[in-house]
Structure 1
């Protein structure tokens, strides 16, 4: 059995946001060809939580965990905070334009089984304005193009997504189906 500590740099969970604009479009990015993971693929905005934000990067094996309820709360909050940070950095939208993230599930890669938490977030900005804001995004270098697409257009793009993002799209469709029944 292989055990990984939070200090292991190559093992981490990812996250992704299904971001819906005020005019009901979904935001996806085409990854740059200069990035290490999935160059040229279509992806949802995202990345990964930062262990150092909750003090987990300094955790040493064998250390006794104290106040685990507090630690669990910090880790949970970082999951939600990190997806907002990723959306703001990659898309360029202001944090105040985003709803609280709704956790919709976890998808994992087949190749390296890395899990990715997916969230649904509403943005109160129209797709044309998001296109304009994207030009000034802090992490815009990670992608070459931002698309705002309908559900049907997204369905047609899904084959260009990495497997974990295809899983995120499947989770989104399950969420939409569940909302119909409410």
Structure 2
């Protein structure tokens, strides 16, 4: 937040995944929110199949750059598509915080990438 706090959410007890646990707000990025304008002035949302592998590899490279150098530095060497995807990732976090807590967006600080969490289901077999 703008006053230097970190926000955690406690998941409800009646949810299927991670009931009752503290979690960082993560958001749900929407691919349809990532639209670039082509040189002919038309919008380009989802990747065309011919471009999918290039964009997927670009996303992998961008993720590695963010992990190594931070989002600000990574975006300086990325493409417009990389910048739009990164903007949607961070914007989705802010949307979730506002929706789930009622905190106005002006009370939230600039999002920072501090790591990625990977959940593992623990079953009796593991």
* TM-score calculated relative to the size of structure 1: 0.40
Q: How does 1:39-118 map to 2 (within 5 A)?
A: 39-55=19-35, 58-63=46-51, 69-111=79-121
> Bigger relative contact order, structure 1 or 2, given CA contacts below 8 A and separation 6+?
1
Do 1:21 and 1:27's aligned partners in 2 also have CA atoms closer than 8 Å? Answer: no
Post-superposition shift, 1:74? 0.3
Q: Distance in 2 between matches of 1:37 and 1:101?
A: 25
Distance in 1 between residues matched to 2:48 and 2:108, nearest whole Å: 36
What per-residue deviation string (whole Å, max 9, x for no partner) do you get for residues 72-108 of structure 1?
1100111221111111111110001111112222232
Q: Which ranges of structure 2 fall in alignment gaps of 5 or more residues? A: 36-43, 56-77, 122-126
1:1-182 matched pairs, under 5 angstroms:
20=1, 22=3, 26-55=6-35, 58-63=46-51, 69-111=79-121
- The answer to whether the 8 Å contact 1:80/1:101 transfers is yes
- Report which of the two has the higher share of strand: 1
d(CA) in 1 for partners of 2:99 and 2:30?
14
- State the Cα RMSD in Å: 3.1
Gaps of 5+ in 1: 1-19, 112-182
Q: How many residues align?
A: 90
Q: Hey, what's the Cα distance between the residues in 2 that align with 1:44 and 1:63?
A: 33
In the alignment, is the contact (CA less than 8 A) between 1:54 and 1:75 conserved in 2?
A: yes
Give every structure 1 segment of 4 or more consecutive aligned residues whose post-TM-superposition deviation is greater than 6 Å.
Answer: none
